Amino acid sequence: QQMVMSLRVSELQVLLGYAGRNKHGRKHELLTKALHLLKAGCSPAVQMKIKELYRRRFPTKMVSPVDLAVPGVHSASGLPAGLAQLGFDGHGSPSPLLPVSLLGPKHELSLPHLPSALHPVHPDVKLQRLPFYDMLDELIKPTSLASDNNQRFQEACYAFALTPQQVQQISSSMDISGTKCDFAVQVQLRFCLSETSCPQEDHFPPNLCVKVNGKPCNLPGYLPPTKNGVEPKRPSRPINITSLVRLSTTVPNTIVVSWTSEIGRSFSMAVYLVRQQSSAVLLQRLRAKGIRNPDHSRALIKEKLTADPESEIATTSLRVSLLCPLGKMRLTIPCRAITCSHLQCFDATLYIQMNEKKPTWVCPVCDKKAPYEHLIIDGLFMEILNSCSDCDEIQFKEDGSWAPMRSKKDVQEVSASYNGVNSGSSNDNSKKVDVIDLTLDSSSDEELDDEPPPKRACPSLSPVSPSANKGVMNLHSQASPVARVPSMPPVETSYIPPPPPLIQDYRHYYHTTSDLPDLNFFSFLQDCVWCQIPFCQD
C-alpha cells in the first residue's frame, strides 16, 4: 500500500492499464482505483508490477570504488567480507558499482554527498537463443537501462573486463583473409525489453546510441518508414563490438549507452562472448536430430482428410508439391516446423542459408514463426523423394497413401501426316495442301456462301449495233478471240468458282473510224480483265 501511495500519475496509469482498469482521471481518482485494486486482492503479476514501478520510482543509491576514497571511508578493509575485492564477480566481469546498502549503516551515513547513481538492476530477463551463435560466456548479465533523472534523453555507463582465456579465444579466432578483420569468437551486445514472461527478442530502445571505449559503434541502418510522419526505426539485431574491445586483461572496457525513455516501457542490455556458426554447421545439427517418423505425417494426413459429419464439403485428397517454395527446385532435405499445420515442406538448406543472411525465421508456406529449434525433417517426404524421382507433385489419399501426379503435357501427333511424311517425302512439292482459315467463324462462312460468285471477264468484245462501232478495237490481228491476261503464279483451283458459260463469239469485224486513228484500248482491256479476277481484287 505504501508503494502504491508513492507512485506518480504516469506510473499509476501504467499500473491500472496493466491491470485492465480505467486509467483516466485525476491523481486522487487514479490512486483510489489503485488502492481499491490492491484491497480487492490483485494477482501476483500485478503485485510484481507494483514493485517494479516502485523500484523505478525510488532506485537504490550506488557507490563506485572511486567514491570510497571520500572522508569517512579510508580503505576497503572495513567493507564486509566478499566486497573488499572489487575486481570481478563469478563470471569474470567487473562490478563497477556497489549498492550503498551493502556498505553498512556507518558508511551509509558518511556518504550523504555522493551523487545518486542508479543500481544496474539484474532482472530475471532471458534473451532468445540465436541459432548462429553459441554462447561461451556472459560478460554482463541482462541489466536494466535505468536513469538517474526524469529527463527524456538518458545515458548509462557499463564496464567489463576479459579474462586471459577469453582474450586467447578471441585472438585465436581472428580471420584476416578478407578485406576486413573478422572474428569467429565475438563480443556481442544485445538489447531487449525488460519482460520476464518469456525469452525476449532483440529490441532496440528509441534513438539508441552506443560508444565502446569512447568510439561510436555502428548500428543497423534505419528501416524506411511505412507511413508519413512516423519515426524511423532500426532493425533490432545483435551488435558485434569485438573490433572496439581492448583485448587486455588489465584494462577494462566501457560501454556508454544513450537512448530516449518511454513511459511504461523499460529496456535491458547484456554482453556475451559467443562463437559464430555457419549454415553448414546448423544443417549438420539438424540432421543429427534425426528424421521424424513417417507415421506422424500419415496421421496428420488422415486427420485432414477425415470427413466432418457437420460439414457438407469433404476433402478426399490432398495435392502437395515436391518443389521448394523458396528456390522453386526439387526438395533435397524436406523440413517444416513442428508448429506448422500444413503438409507442404521446404528445403532445409535454402531456409537456413536465407536466415543466415537475414534472420527472420518465418515459414515460407504459412508465414508463421518457424525458429530453428522447431524444425524437423519429414520422414514421409524423404521416402517419397527417394522412391519417386520423375514427378514434382503428389496426391495423398484418405488412408495416408500417395500417388504421383504426372505433368499434363499434351503432345498430339497426327498419324496421317506422319505417314505422309514417311511415304512421300520426295513428292512434297506436288502434293495438294488444304488450307483452313481459322480466323473465320461459322457466321462469316454463311455470309460467304450467300454472296454471288464474282463476275468473270468476257473473252471477247462484240458490238450491239453498227452505230456503236465508234471506239471499238478490232481484235482480228490476234490468233484467238479470247483476251489475254498478264502471267500470274499458279493458284489453287479451289479458290476460283466455276466459270459462267461463254458468250458466243460474233466474228463481225468492223473497221475503226478515221476519227480515232491512234486510240489503243488493249491496255485498258487488260486492266479491266485484271480487276475482275476474284483473287486479285485486293
The yes or no reply on domain 2-57 and CATH 3.50.30.30 is: no
Beta strands in 194-345 (DSSP E): 209-212, 215-216, 239-240, 253-260, 267-276, 291-292, 318-321, 334-337
- Indicate whether 222 pLDDT > 90: no
Q: DSSP letters along 141-160, please?
A: EEEE---SSS-SEEEEEEEE
Please name the helix (run of DSSP H) or strand (run of DSSP E) that holds residue 63, with its range, or none. Answer: strand 62-63
- More confident site: 250 or 521: 250
Supply the mean pLDDT for the chain. 73
Q: What pLDDT score does 519 carry?
A: 52
Q: What is the pLDDT of residues 363-410, one digit of tens each?
A: 999 999 999 999 999 999 999 999 888 888 999 988 888 888 876 554
* Distance (Å, whole) CA 13 – CA 483: 110
Q: What pLDDT score does 99 carry?
A: 41
Three cell numbers written together for 448: 460467304
Class of 133-221+233-277 in CATH: mainly beta
Q: What is the pLDDT of residues 122-181, one digit of tens each?
A: 778 899 999 999 999 999 999 988 766 677 788 899 999 999 999 999 999 988 776 677
The percent of residues above 70 in pLDDT, for the chain, comes to: 61
* Distance (Å, whole) CA 256 – CA 241: 13
Three cell numbers written together for 387: 522412391
Rg, the chain, Cα only? 47
Counting Cβ atoms within 10 Å, is residue 461 exposed (0-12), middle (13-18) or buried (19+)?
middle
Backbone angles phi, psi at 281, to 5 degrees: -65, -40
* Distance (Å, whole) CA 346 – CA 322: 9
Residues of the chain with CATH 1.10.720.30: 2-57
Residues of the chain with CATH 2.60.120.780: 133-221+233-277
- Indicate whether 189 pLDDT > 60: yes
The yes or no reply on domain 292-307+315-404 and CATH 3.30.40.10 is: yes
Q: What's 494's DSSP letter?
A: G
